[in-house]
Amino acid sequence: MDLLEFWKDIENAETIGITGHTRPDGDCVGSCLGMYSYILNRYNKKADVFLEEMLSKFSFLKGSEDVITDYPDRDSYDVFIAIDSGDLERTGKAQKYFTAAKKTYCFDHHGTNTGYADQNMIVPSAAAAAELLTYIFDEDYIDLDTANALYVGFVHDTGVFKHSNTTRKTMEIAGMLLDKGVQPSKIIDGTFYEKTYIQNQVLGRCLMESILLMEGKVIISYISADVQKLYGITSSDMSGIIDQLRITKGVEVAILLKESKKREWFISMRSNNIVDVSKICVMFGGGGHLRAAGCTMYGSVHDCVNSLTKEIEKQLK
Ligand SMILES: [Mn+2]
Q: Tell me how far the alpha carbon of residue 215 lies from the centroid of ligand 1, in angstroms.
A: 32
Q: Tell me how far the alpha carbon of residue 20 lies from the centroid of ligand 1, in angstroms.
A: 9
Share of the chain above pLDDT 90, in %: 96
Q: Tell me how far the alpha carbon of residue 128 lies from the centroid of ligand 1, in angstroms.
A: 5
* pTM (global) more than 0.85: no
Q: Tell me how far the alpha carbon of residue 270 lies from the centroid of ligand 1, in angstroms.
A: 15
Give the mean model confidence (pLDDT) for residues 31-38. Answer: 98
Q: Tell me how far the alpha carbon of residue 42 lies from the centroid of ligand 1, in angstroms.
A: 24
Model confidence at 236: pLDDT above 90: no
Domains of the chain: 3-193 (3.90.1640.10), 197-316 (3.10.310.30)
Amino acid at 223: I
Return the CA Rg of the chain: 19
Check residue 145 and give its pLDDT.
Answer: 98
Euclidean distance between CA atoms 106 and 40, whole angstroms: 19
CA distances from 227 to 22, 135, 143, 279, 301 (A): 21, 42, 43, 30, 14
Q: Tell me how far the alpha carbon of residue 278 lies from the centroid of ligand 1, in angstroms.
A: 14
Worst-scoring range by mean pLDDT, 35-39, 77-81, 191-195, 212-216?
191-195
247 close to 271: Cβ distance less than 8 angstroms: no
Q: Tell me how far the alpha carbon of residue 90 lies from the centroid of ligand 1, in angstroms.
A: 12
Q: Tell me how far the alpha carbon of residue 191 lies from the centroid of ligand 1, in angstroms.
A: 15
Q: Tell me how far the alpha carbon of residue 83 lies from the centroid of ligand 1, in angstroms.
A: 8
Q: Tell me how far the alpha carbon of residue 224 lies from the centroid of ligand 1, in angstroms.
A: 26
Euclidean distance between CA atoms 194 and 215, whole angstroms: 33
Give the mean model confidence (pLDDT) for residues 225-236. Answer: 92
Q: Tell me how far the alpha carbon of residue 208 lies from the centroid of ligand 1, in angstroms.
A: 29
35 close to 18: Cβ distance less than 8 angstroms: yes
Q: Tell me how far the alpha carbon of residue 28 lies from the centroid of ligand 1, in angstroms.
A: 6
Q: What is the pLDDT of the chain when averaged over all its residues?
A: 96
Q: Tell me how far the alpha carbon of residue 84 lies from the centroid of ligand 1, in angstroms.
A: 5
For residue 187, which of 81, 29, 52 has the smallest C-alpha distance? 29
Q: Tell me how far the alpha carbon of residue 242 lies from the centroid of ligand 1, in angstroms.
A: 16
User: Binning pLDDT at 50, 70 and 90, where does residue 235 land?
Assistant: confident
For residue 258, which of 283, 230, 228 has the smallest C-alpha distance? 228
CB within 8 Å of 164: residues ≥ 6 apart: 290, 291
Q: Tell me how far the alpha carbon of residue 10 lies from the centroid of ligand 1, in angstroms.
A: 23
Q: Tell me how far the alpha carbon of residue 113 lies from the centroid of ligand 1, in angstroms.
A: 12
Q: Tell me how far the alpha carbon of residue 109 lies from the centroid of ligand 1, in angstroms.
A: 7
User: Binning pLDDT at 50, 70 and 90, where does residue 246 land?
Assistant: very high
Q: Tell me how far the alpha carbon of residue 6 lies from the centroid of ligand 1, in angstroms.
A: 21
Q: Tell me how far the alpha carbon of residue 301 lies from the centroid of ligand 1, in angstroms.
A: 27
User: Binning pLDDT at 50, 70 and 90, where does residue 234 land?
Assistant: confident
Euclidean distance between CA atoms 215 and 102, whole angstroms: 54
Q: Tell me how far the alpha carbon of residue 44 lies from the centroid of ligand 1, in angstroms.
A: 26
Burial of 78 (0-12, 13-18, 19+ CB in 10 A): middle
Share of the chain above pLDDT 70, in %: 100
Helix H, strand E, coil C: the string for the chain is: CCHHHHHHHHHHCCCEEEECCCCCCHHHHHHHHHHHHHHHHHHCCCCEEECCCCCHHHCCCCCHHHCECCCCCCCCCCEEEEECCCCHHHHHHHHHHHHHCCEEEEEECCCCCCCCCCEEEECCCCCCHHHHHHHHCCHHHCCHHHHHHHHHHHHHHCCCCCCCCCCHHHHHHHHHHHHCCCCHHHHHHHHHHCCCHHHHHHHHHHHHCCEEEHHHCEEEEEECHHHHHHHCCCHHHHCCHHHHHHCCCCCCEEEEEEEEECCEEEEEEEECCCCCHHHHHHHCCCEECCCEEEEEEECCHHHHHHHHHHHHHHHHC
The tens digit of pLDDT for each residue in 143-201 reads 999 999 999 999 999 999 998 899 999 999 999 999 999 999 999 999 999 999 999 99
Q: Tell me how far the alpha carbon of residue 157 lies from the centroid of ligand 1, in angstroms.
A: 6
Q: Tell me how far the alpha carbon of residue 124 lies from the centroid of ligand 1, in angstroms.
A: 10
Euclidean distance between CA atoms 12 and 6, whole angstroms: 10
Q: Tell me how far the alpha carbon of residue 31 lies from the centroid of ligand 1, in angstroms.
A: 8
Euclidean distance between CA atoms 307 and 284, whole angstroms: 9
Q: What are phi and psi of 296, to 5 degrees?
A: -110, 135
